[in-house]
């Protein structure tokens, strides 16, 4: 970068001097005392500087960011000071990677035995789960050079450019061995090839395959790829000898969440009342990146509130901010719309309470993000298996907002868009992946789905219709509770778990007294 700036500065000086010299030819009164030969020399130098500056820019374009001049000068930065201590949870993955680390640290031991250690590791799983962090930690643990490249950096319009970038990346890795090449979003170059596929992309993938095959055990270079879509990858890439070690990095479980939160609150002043375990319980399904974000957001909120310590109030606000979006200050929601939103959210709250799915923490009609209201739920336990009726109940709760609108106003609104998407997704999974429909106990493959979507849609509709009519009948039977939740929401804008329990219990008691 520095070099480029200096060249540019000289070029600028050259342009100004040349301009003055040229002007002096036409305006003799300027009286510039420079010989004709010197004038020519200055102009020629400016032209050379111009071409040199341009070539510097082109060089940058031909290389991924990691290989640019800027990065080459920062070799120190390429040796991450991140270790496994910074990666919370994921114990089994760290254990699995120990062998790779041992191979890099004691490569002679393996070479002596003629052992070949897998050179390609593929991390797959949802975003933000720590794939990049793990790769950096492997580099940190082995004091290797960490070369980061994103798959999309290799995707180019011009044939051959992507392949050249791959070659340069591997050349540099070999030069600076021991090194870890980390290719994020590898699906951008590694998707399955087919007859109509893009020539440039194929060339890039072919080059990657050649490089993976090309380096031998004398070079301590490990390639780690990461993707959220392993299903899209070309089989050639996953073949033994290439990315043959597949490691799934999923969302953290409760224990891992606790540890991740501990790592990210280590340097933050926390109030003694804060219970990290409780925060971990409230954040089921969130990724490591989202947890890190919550810890950071809580600190920002504390600063905003002029506090010098972070309390559970800031953490709750941070969780809500991440789960439900940014609170809209001074929203311009019409009173009529507010009534509809209150009934809609009350419908969700009431039906969730009756079918007893997840724990409701809060119902609110304060707009956040795109939503005019929301129900904040925390699953009461870590679940991996769901029964068919539990899935149906989830859909029923999702459709309860729309059902409440229909029941109260005999008219439906656009407010249920997000609920409908989520409900349909669950129903589609029930039909296509879990064999929970009259199509039979089988998982449906992509080709069947593509050619028989009408029959699949009918099955999905059967499920959502059933859930919707269940939601409607729960609302009809408990309309008084619905109205009370809605009117409390209109008064207070937000109802917490205890207030909802109180309303629910009050009516239950009244109905038992009446019978």
Using alpha carbons, list the distances in angstroms from residue 277 to 255, 261, 281, 289, 297. Answer: 8, 9, 6, 18, 18
List 21, 63, 82, 87, residue binding ligand ATP (CB under 6 A) = 87
Shortest Cβ distance from residue 174 to ligand ATP (Å)?
A: 25
Quote the least distance from Cβ 290 to ligand ATP, whole Å.
8
SS3 438: coil
Q: Considering only residues 292 through 321, tell me which ones interact with ligand ATP, judged by CB under 6 A.
A: 292
Least distance from ligand ATP to the Cβ atom of residue 482, Å? 41
Q: What is 329-368 written as a DSSP string? A: SS----HHHHHHHHHHHHHHHHHHHHHT-SEEEEEE-S-B
Does residue 93 bind ligand ATP (CB under 6 A)?
A: no
When the beta carbons of 217 and 228 are compared against ligand ATP, the nearer one is 228
CB of 382 to ligand ATP, least distance (A): 16
In angstroms, the CA 169 to CA 179 distance is 11
Nearest to 180 by CA among 188, 165, 190, 170: 170
Q: Could you say whether residue 283 binds ligand ATP (CB under 6 A)?
A: no
Q: Please say whether the dihedral angle defined by the alpha carbons of residues 438, 443, 448 and 454, taken in this order, is positive or negative.
A: positive
Question: Which residues partner with 191 through β-bridges?
Answer: 233
C-beta of residue 237 within 8 angstroms of C-beta of residue 166: no
What gap in Å lies between CA 388 and CA 391, rounded to an integer?
Answer: 5
3-class SS at 324? helix
Residue 238, burial from CB neighbour count under 10 angstroms (0-12, 13-18, 19+):
middle
Selected from 14, 64, 80, 89, the binder of ligand ATP by CB under 6 A is 89
Q: Which long-range contacts (CB under 8 A, 24 or more apart) does 496-499 make?
A: 496/361, 496/362, 497/359, 497/360, 497/361, 497/362
Burial 402-419 (b: 16+ CB within 10 A, else e): bbbbbbbeeeebebbeeb
Residues in contact with ligand ATP, total (CB under 6 A)? 19
- Cβ at position 227, least distance to ligand ATP in Å: 8
Q: Which is nearer to ligand ATP, 27 or 232 (CB)?
A: 232
Of 49, 63, 67, 90, which lies in the binding site for ligand ATP, with binding defined by CB under 6 A? 90
Asked whether position 151 contacts ligand ATP by CB under 6 A, the answer is no
Q: Stretches 19-27, 126-134, 322-330, 497-505: which one binds ligand ATP (CB under 6 A)?
A: 126-134
Catalytic residue, candidates 153, 211, 290, 345: 345
List the x/- string, 176-215, binding to ligand ATP by CB under 6 A. --------x-------------------------------
Q: Which stretch binds ligand ATP (CB under 6 A): 112-120, 127-135, 204-212, 438-446?
A: 127-135
**Whether residue 345 lies in the annotated active site:** yes
- Given 45, 263, 359, 439, the residue binding ligand ATP (CB under 6 A): 263
Chosen residue from 260, 270, 279, 403 binding ligand ATP by CB under 6 A: 260
The reply to whether 107 sits near ligand ATP by the rule CB under 6 A is no
Q: Determine if 128 is a binding residue for ligand ATP (CB under 6 A).
A: yes
Place of tokens 């969440």: 257
| Cβ–Cβ < 8 Å for 139, 77 | no
Among 133, 400, 431, 481, binds ligand ATP (CB under 6 A): 133
Taking the least distance from each CB to ligand ATP, the nearer of 185 and 406 is 185
Who's near 63: CB < 8 A, 6+ residues apart?
A: 165, 168
Question: 243: which strand partners?
Answer: 120
Residues near ligand ATP, by CB under 6 A: 87-90, 127-133, 184, 226, 228, 260, 263, 288-289, 292
Q: Which residues are catalytic?
A: 345
């Amino acid at each position: 970068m520095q070099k480029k700036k200096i060249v540019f500065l000289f070029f600028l000086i050259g342009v100004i001097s040349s301009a003055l010299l040229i002007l002096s030819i036409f305006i003799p009164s300027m009286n510039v005392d420079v010989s004709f030969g010197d004038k020519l020399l200055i102009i020629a130098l400016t032209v050379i500087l111009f071409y040199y500056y341009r070539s510097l820019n082109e060089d940058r374009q031909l290389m991924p960011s990691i290989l640019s001049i800027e990065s080459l000068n920062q070799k120190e930065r390429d040796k991450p000071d991140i270790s496994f201590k910074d990666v919370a949870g994921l114990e089994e993955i760290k254990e699995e990677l120990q062998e790779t680390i041992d191979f890099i640290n004691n490569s002679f031991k393996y070479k002596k035995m003629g052992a070949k250690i897998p050179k390609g590791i593929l991390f797959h799983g949802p975003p933000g789960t720590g794939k990049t962090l793990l790769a950096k930690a492997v580099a940190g643990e082995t004091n290797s050079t960490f070369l980061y490249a994103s798959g999309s950096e290799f995707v180019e319009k011009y044939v051959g450019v992507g392949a050249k970038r791959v070659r340069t990346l591997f050349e540099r890795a070999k030069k600076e061995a021991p090194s870890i090449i980390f290719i994020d979003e590898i699906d951008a170059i590694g998707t399955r090839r087919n007859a109509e596929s893009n020539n440039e992309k194929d060339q890039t993938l072919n080059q990657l395959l050649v490089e993976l095959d090309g380096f031998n055990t004398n070079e301590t270079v490990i390639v780690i790829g990461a993707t959220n879509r392993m299903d899209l990858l070309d089989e050639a890439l996953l073949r033994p000898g290439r990315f043959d070690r597949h490691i799934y990095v999923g969302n953290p479980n409760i224990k891992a969440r606790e540890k991740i939160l501990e790592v990210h609150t280590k340097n933050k002043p926390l109030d003694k009342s804060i219970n990290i375990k409780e925060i971990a319980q409230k954040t089921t399904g969130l990724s490591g990146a989202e947890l890190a974000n919550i810890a950071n957001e809580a600190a920002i909120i504390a600063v905003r509130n002029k506090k010098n310590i972070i309390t559970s109030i800031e953490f709750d606000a941070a969780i809500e901010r991440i789960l439900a979006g940014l609170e809209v200050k001074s929203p311009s929601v019409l009173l009529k719309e507010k009534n509809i939103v209150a009934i809609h959210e009350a419908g969700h709250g009431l039906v969730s309470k009756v079918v007893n799915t997840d724990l409701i923490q809060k119902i609110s009609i304060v707009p956040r993000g795109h939503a005019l209201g929301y129900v904040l739920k925390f699953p009461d336990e870590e679940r991996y298996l769901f029964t068919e009726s539990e899935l149906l109940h989830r859909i029923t709760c999702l459709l309860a907002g729309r059902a409440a609108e229909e029941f109260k106003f005999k008219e439906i609104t656009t407010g249920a868009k997000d609920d409908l998407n989520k409900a349909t997704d669950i129903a589609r999974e029930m039909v296509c992946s879990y064999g929970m429909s009259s199509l039979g106990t089988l998982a449906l493959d992509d080709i069947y789905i593509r050619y028989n979507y009408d029959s699949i849609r009918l099955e999905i509709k059967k499920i959502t219709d059933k859930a919707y009519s269940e939601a409607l009948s729960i609302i009809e039977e408990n309309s008084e509770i619905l109205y009370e939740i809605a009117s409390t929401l209109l008064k207070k804008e937000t109802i917490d778990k205890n207030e909802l329990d109180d309303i629910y219990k009050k009516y239950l008691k009244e109905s038992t007294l009446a019978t």
